[in-house]
Amino acid sequence: MNAESPRPDQDASERHQLPILNQPSSRRTALKAAGFALGLAAFGKALSPMMVIPENVSAEEFLQQHYKELTEEDKKRIFARLEKEAKEEYGADVTISDPPPIPGVRFGYAINLSKCNGNGKCMEACNKENNHHRGTDQSYIRVLEMSKGSLDMEHGTTTYDHTVPQDDKFYMPVQCQQCDNPPCVSACPIEATWQEDDGIVVVDYNWCIGCRYCEAACPYHARRFNWEQPEIPADEVNGNQGYLSNRIRPQGTMEKCHFCLHRTREGRAPACLEACPTGARVFGDLNDPDSDINYVLKHKRVFVLKEELGTRPNFFYFFDS
């Protein structure tokens, strides 16, 4: 150390000291000091996100890993935390589950446009089932009123407020099409959204950074952004919650239709299907040749939305004749 300018009154041991403080200035010590300062600054910068954790986010939640990295133990702990938070913030008793895809099952959904009359009960059922924000009456479904003669959903309107169906209109509910080639998944910069084995495209609400690229990428306008922390009266909170589906989402994250996976992966029908008073909705396993959905695909005039984009939806529309 300090080999350039050893002072005669220093013995050898005293010369071997840390190079920063109270050293005679030299080019080397200056560089070392600068290097140490830089290192310290970088370390501080690396830790700085810890200082800006929002008040409503615990350190544990902030440090939570991606869904695919979580062990069963992690999940148990996280679900317990979420259940506790739901109790504290919403006064509701909830159970969070994480049903896996059923092996060999691939979900398909179809809507009979000859039957749908635009009454909107599906949107309402979605709102209630999926613990949507009541302030905006959010829903994963939009029912479009379309002029007969065109299938261009961009010309559909959603603000109609008259008895339905009108003679010169038809009605087309649009929700996530669970594409096999999902543009939203490609657009996500952090892999917070992906397609599961049963075809359902899911979002890790805790990994999502809310950049909304996926919302812009979706040609079906199917993704929603949580502008606000959802407000739900305690007695209206649906306590049957899936971690990747209808649990109460944090503010600032993206969400979308997940085919009610907390229901459908248990064998039950989606909420919007059960709510439909016209029986326009058909749901089932595309891999089962005898399923309802395959009957529709084999016997009806079926089309998919915006087929030309190559998104390969698992969501279909059909007419009776």
Partner 1 sequence: MNINKANRNGMTNATAVIGIFAAVFVGVLAAFGAVQLSDPAPDDGLQERAGEDKGSGTAETVDSFPVSIRKPIGPPRVLTGIVDAEGNAVTASCSSCHTTRPAIVATKVSAELDEFHSGMPFSHGSISCLACHNQDDYDALRLADGTRLEFSDVMTLCAQCHGPQMTDYEHGAHGGMTGFWDKSRGPQEKLNCIDCHLPHTPQFPKMQPTFKPKDRFLSPEGGDH
* First CA to last CA distance, the chain: 91
Indicate the residue among 136 and 181 with the shorter CB distance to partner 1. 136
Stretch that binds partner 1, among 83-91, 111-119, 188-196, 234-242 (CB under 8 A): 111-119
What is the spatial distance between Cα 265 and Cα 268, in angstroms, rounded to a whole number? 7
Q: How far is the CB of 78 from partner 1 (least distance, A)?
A: 11
What is the spatial distance between Cα 194 and Cα 185, in angstroms, rounded to a whole number? 6
Q: Does 311 bind partner 1 (CB under 8 A)?
A: no
A 10 A CB-CB count for 174 gives 21
Q: Does 69 bind partner 1 (CB under 8 A)?
A: yes
Indicate the residue among 18 and 80 with the shorter CB distance to partner 1. 18
Contact 244, 258 (CB under 8 A): yes
Stretch that binds partner 1, among 82-90, 205-213, 238-246, 259-267 (CB under 8 A): 259-267
When binding is defined by CB under 8 A, the residue of 229, 251, 278, 287 that contacts partner 1 is: 278
Stretch that binds partner 1, among 78-86, 200-208, 236-244, 283-291 (CB under 8 A): 283-291
Element (H, E) at 93: none
β-strands 240-242, 254-255: how paired? unpaired
| Strand partners of residue 242 | 97
Indicate the residue among 40 and 310 with the shorter CB distance to partner 1. 40
What is the spatial distance between Cα 98 and Cα 80, in angstroms, rounded to a whole number? 13
When binding is defined by CB under 8 A, the residue of 232, 285, 315, 317 that contacts partner 1 is: 285
Residues of this chain, 209-248, that bind partner 1 according to CB under 8 A: 221, 224
When binding is defined by CB under 8 A, the residue of 61, 85, 89, 274 that contacts partner 1 is: 274
Q: Does 300 bind partner 1 (CB under 8 A)?
A: yes
Contact mark string toward partner 1, 87..106, x via CB under 8 A = ------------xx-xxxx-
Contact 298, 282 (CB under 8 A): no
| Strand partners of residue 174 | 142
Q: How far is the CB of 76 from partner 1 (least distance, A)?
A: 11
Contact 256, 205 (CB under 8 A): no
Contact mark string toward partner 1, 47..66, x via CB under 8 A = x---------------xxx-
Contact 264, 178 (CB under 8 A): no
Nearest CA-CA partner of 218 in 190, 256, 246: 256
- Please report where in the chains the tokens 């009154």 appear, as a residue: 9
When binding is defined by CB under 8 A, the residue of 13, 25, 48, 163 that contacts partner 1 is: 163
Number of residues that bind partner 1 (CB under 8 A): 76
Q: Does 25 bind partner 1 (CB under 8 A)?
A: no
Q: Return the half-sphere exposure (C-beta side, CA atoms, 13 A cut-off) of residue 129.
A: 26
Q: How far is the CB of 132 from partner 1 (least distance, A)?
A: 8
Q: How far is the CB of 116 from partner 1 (least distance, A)?
A: 11
When binding is defined by CB under 8 A, the residue of 111, 113, 127, 185 that contacts partner 1 is: 127
What is the spatial distance between Cα 233 and Cα 132, in angstroms, rounded to a whole number? 11
